[in-house]
Amino acid sequence: MLLKPRRLHRLLLASGLLAGGLAQAQTLLPAKLPAMPPSSLGWQACQAIKADAGAQLTCFQQWADAQSPANTLAASMTTAPANADTGTPTAQIMLLPSMNTDAPDGKPIGCRNDQYSEISRFWELQRGTDCGTFSLRGYRPISLAFVMSGGIDPPPVLGAGSPPDYRHAETKIQLSVRTKLAKGLFKDGNFDQDDQDSLWFGYSQQSYWQLFTSSLSRPFRTTDHEPELVYIYPHQIALPGGWNYRLSGLGLVHQSNGQSDPLSRSWNRTYLMGGAEKVLGPDSSLRLQGRIWDRLRESSNTDNNPDIENFIGRAELTGTWQINKANTLGVTVRHSLHREAKGSTRIDWMMAPTASPNYTGLRYHVQLFNGYGDSLLDYNKRRNVLSVGLSLVDW
């Protein structure tokens, strides 16, 4: 169908206006896009601004800032040194902020970050030492040791028969783990150096195994179980002599050997604790941790060790010297706080194997114990015990 001249003229005029409008819109659009949020436009909008290099750079910068997390450090410019061999002049390079928050094994590095002190990493006292909740961590050393003791009194015998003839040489196995249940309950901050309180659950188990007594089928002589709930409140209080008071704590602990009468031993107690440290060098420090406890009373009809605190003690003080990265010396003293002084002294020396890469948590462990309470079954018998073995710490 042929168009009339007047209608053809109108159609050409409309087409020209439409083309001109589109060209004008394409000209104006890039100049208006940067005013919109770069995150909503995308980098393509910045790419379209080729005519104005300054506006394009600003657009890209706004878009990059919108993509960065709130707490990400800004990138910085620095000058690379000249190449002495080729004479290449110096040039500015961009240093991007570190985004590495995990170790190669995928675990958080906070509680393994060496820029913080030993006690801060152990209890995750600062925000930068946080390794999250409900992840398993070591508590007391996980140990396997050969033991020689001054003597083992035979336990009471149920019914007729003679008591078992236990050997003085045996093995000791200790398992101990903990997990953080909650953090930042009453104290928290926005920076890595800020203190953060926490609530922990721990479980420890110690067994004496008559491995060398084949005539008795190598029995486990005794096993003690110790679940524990601990609340830790951090401090940074300067003390004389370069010491720093780092934490206060409140705990509730149950300890039992899981046996029936007359071998049953158990008690419950609450305790207060405190800890301080003194940093001596990059890999050397002194630590002090004290606890004082009170036993929760039981009915006389069910209490099978009513005088246990008079032997094991009512308070303990642990001093630890981190000699260097490979050697640690510790002394723990318990006292009954009673006129008839009883308690115990334990000395621990741990040494990292020289073949251990980067001084991992594996340690040679020598322990000397003298006093009461080495195990619940023998809580009222004074014992001298020497243990030599391997321990896993801070894993």
Enclosing H/E stretch for 33: none
Sequence-ordered list of residues with C-beta below 8 angstroms from that of 114, at least 6 positions apart, any chain? 282
Average pLDDT over residues 16-42: 47
> Element (H or E) spanning 292, and its range?
strand 284-295
No. of helices (H) and no. of strands (E), the chain: 6, 15
- Average confidence (pLDDT) over 352-362: 77
132-153+167-392 topology per CATH: Outer membrane phospholipase (ompla); Chain C (2.40.230)
CA distance 239 to 212: 50
**Whether pLDDT at 94 is above 80:** no
User: What letter represents residue 332's amino acid?
Assistant: T
Per DSSP, the three-state class of 188 is: coil
pLDDT surpassing 50 at residue 2: no
Give me the torsion for CA of 363, 366, 372, 373, rounded to 10°. Answer: 20
Tokens (6 digits) for 114:
């060496």
- Please state whether the peptide bond connecting residue 234 to the residue before it is cis, i.e. omega within 30 degrees of 0: no
pLDDT exceeds 70 at position 107:
no
For residue 256, name the pLDDT band (cuts at 50, 70, 90). Answer: very high
* Burial label, 287 (beta-carbon count in 10 A; 0-12, 13-18, 19+): buried
The residue with greater pLDDT, 121 or 41, is 121
The pairing of strands 343-351 and 327-335 is antiparallel
- Average pLDDT in the 112-134 region? 94
Instruction: Provide the token pair at 29.
Output: 């659009």
3-state secondary structure of 124: coil
Nearest-angstrom CA–CA distance, 74 and 354 = 41
SS3 29: helix
pLDDT at 97: 40
pLDDT of residue 315: 98
- Alpha-carbon torsion (257, 263, 269, 271), positive or negative: negative
33 compared with 291, residue with greater pLDDT: 291
Per-residue pLDDT, 21: 45
Token reading at 135: 């992840």
Which of 363, 382, 288 has the alpha carbon at shortest distance from 332? 288
Q: Higher-confidence residue: 8 or 136?
A: 136
More confident call, 46 vs 172: 172
Mean pLDDT of 378-387: 94
Q: Which of 74-83, 223-232, 365-374 has the lowest mean pLDDT?
A: 74-83
Residue 32: the pLDDT is: 45
Which of helix, strand or coil describes residue 41? helix
Position 9 pLDDT exceeds 90: no
Buried b (16+ CB within 10 A) or exposed e, 26-35: eeeebeebbe
Give the per-residue pLDDT at 177: 97
pLDDT at 79 over 80: no
Mean pLDDT over residues 339-361, rounded? 86
Overall average pLDDT of the 40-55 stretch: 72
Residue-level pLDDT at 151: 72
What pLDDT, on the 0 to 100 scale, is given for residue 11?
Answer: 47
Given this model, what pLDDT does residue 56 score? 78
Q: What's the rounded Cα separation, in Å, for the pair 346 and 309?
A: 17
Assess whether pLDDT exceeds 70 at residue 157: no
Q: Are 168 and 98 contacting, i.e. CB atoms less than 8 angstroms apart?
A: no
Q: Quick one: pLDDT at residue 244?
A: 97
User: What single DSSP character describes residue 126?
Assistant: B
- Can you read off the two tokens belonging to residue 370? 């003298």
The least confident of 157-166, 228-237, 332-341 is 157-166
Whole-number pLDDT of residue 375 = 94
Q: Which residue has the tokens 């000395």?
A: 347
**Residue 160's pLDDT band (boundaries 50, 70, 90)?**
low
Please report the pLDDT score of residue 360 as a whole number.
76
Tell me what pLDDT residue 84 has. 54
Distance of CA 33 to the CA centre of its chain: 48
Name which of 118-127, 164-173, 243-252, 258-267 the model is least confident about.
Answer: 258-267
Q: What's the pLDDT score for residue 374? A: 94
> How far is 295 from 314, CA to CA, in rounded Å?
8
pLDDT at site 363: 94
HSE on the CB side for 266, CA within 13 Å?
17
Sign, Cα dihedral of 14, 16, 20, 25: positive
Top mean pLDDT of 23-37, 69-83, 307-321 is at 307-321
> Which two three-digit tokens encode residue 183?
């953090």
Q: Does residue 204 sit in helix, strand or coil?
A: strand
Cα–Cα dist 258/226, whole Å: 10
How high does pLDDT run on average in the chain? 82
